[in-house]
Amino acid sequence: MLSSLPKADWLLADRGYDADWLREALQDKGIKACIPGRNSCKKAVKYDKRRYKKRNRIEIMFGRLKDWRRIATRYDRCPETYRLAIALAATVLFWL
């Protein structure tokens, strides 16, 4: 699944994705990880706190997208049509 990641500079994720193998795989692809360490982690992990605070905007956007019944229940079987429906809904939500 990591091989299908699009070209990106950063990956923002929550503590659930804190794993050394994931950090190393992202680093191999040239992606910087912004993932805080778990509370039970022995070694402190450095991450960009300002960038991590902006992660909630992404979660809010997905919450708004799920208000659209077509996207929440995924009526479209074709991945391309589904992606276009998400793009249309995101455009309308951004415009409003």
The token pair at 85 is: 């429906």
Give per-residue pLDDT as tens, 56-77. 887 887 787 777 776 767 776 7
Which sign does the torsion angle of CA 25, 27, 32, 34 carry?
Answer: positive
pTM over 0.95: no
Helices assigned H by DSSP within 7-78? 20-28, 49-53, 55-65, 69-73
Q: pLDDT for 20-46, tens place per residue?
A: 888 888 888 898 888 887 777 777 778
By C-alpha distance, which of 24, 41, 42 is closest to 33? 24
